[in-house]
Structure 1
């Protein structure tokens, strides 16, 4: 059973999932701290290139199954036009101002 996005605990993570599912690049980028970083399956990636390829140009969508660590760790079914659907894990580091400093994703 999935968690409704509006019920996610952490405001930054909730906004992240909302922006991904709405394909709202401007809202997504507004969530990121300057110099934000990310990794996929343990390898650091260029954040702009990765998000364009894996989220925005391929219609990425997250259905969150559960959350932990105060809402900053998710298990989600992630789908896009490139890879189809897969079970993924996501973790977020958020600064004191509510901006995402880093996120990590990979297959769960």
Structure 2
């Protein structure tokens, strides 16, 4: 289990709940998710191809810029469901900028086991 929070900042994160990341069956996705949650940018990037792409609600965005800006300021507060052999994650999410909402992270991996695409967006489930 790991705690669901990012880097400590000027405000305390209340109601931090443990998440059982073993629900994420895909080991690469689980490790990337855990890196995101603990705000470990270097580890996060290590699971992706150098030319990884990002789709945000279906719109292309700069993956490197998004990751650098969001890690430590955005995090899952609860993992609600895992689908597609552990590559699609849905849960409650907190953004220091946008507040709290349901979101999804969908990871697409290469045959070699690196993440080549991340799709993110607001979820409706």
Query: TM-score, normalised on structure 1?
Result: 0.88
Root mean square deviation, CA, Å: 1.6
Indicate yes or no: 2:84 matched with 1:69.
yes
Superposition deviation, residue 73 in structure 1: 1.0
| Alignment partner of 2:55 out of 39, 43, 56 | 39
- 2:41 is matched with 25
Checking the alignment, whether the CA contact within 8 Å between 2:90 and 2:104 is kept in structure 1 is yes
Q: Using CA pairs under 8 Å that are at least 6 residues apart, name the structure with larger relative contact order, 1 or 2.
A: 1
Checking the alignment, whether the CA contact within 8 Å between 2:23 and 2:82 is kept in structure 1 is no
- 1:106 is matched with 121
Superposition deviation, residue 3 in structure 1: 5.4
Checking the alignment, whether the CA contact within 8 Å between 2:40 and 2:71 is kept in structure 1 is no
Alpha-carbon distance between aligned partners in 2 of 1:83 and 1:47, rounded to the nearest angstrom? 19
* Matched pairs, number: 105
Deviations 1:50-87 (A, max 9, x none): 1122224x2x2123210111011111111121112110
What runs of 5+ residues in structure 2 fail to find an aligned partner? 1-17
Query: TM-score, normalised on structure 2?
Result: 0.77
